[in-house]
Amino acid sequence: MSVQTVETEVMKSILGELISRADLATALRMSPETLCRWGTQRIGPAPTRIGRKVYYRRDSVEQWLRAQEQSMPNPRRSGGRR
């Protein structure tokens, strides 16, 4: 295996855990502008900048999504007033 091949594989493994802003917006069914606004307000998943490009680590997005889970409210009791 050549040095260039090894370097390419290392970059793929590093970048493979990143998702672009556009791809994340599509997956979450929202606009990239919303993610941009969230980044300036420091809400939502933490962005990673590489030059002018913005990416998100997949595990950070998954953690953020888990944190957004809400418990279901208790169902109303049937039977009316007591």
The pLDDT score that the predictor gives to residue 16 is 80
Q: Could you give the C-alpha distances from 74 to 69, 77, 78, 82, in angstroms and in order?
A: 16, 9, 12, 18
pLDDT score for 4: 67
Max Cα–Cα distance, the chain, nearest Å: 79
Decide: pTM greater than 0.75: no
Helix axes 32-41, 21-28, angle to 10 degrees: 110
Q: What is the per-residue pLDDT across 22-56, written as a single tens digit (0 to 9) for each?
A: 999 999 999 999 999 999 999 999 999 989 999 99
Name which of 39, 16, 35 is nearest 25 in CA terms. Answer: 35
Residue 26 — φ and ψ, nearest 5°?
A: -60, -45
SS3 47: strand
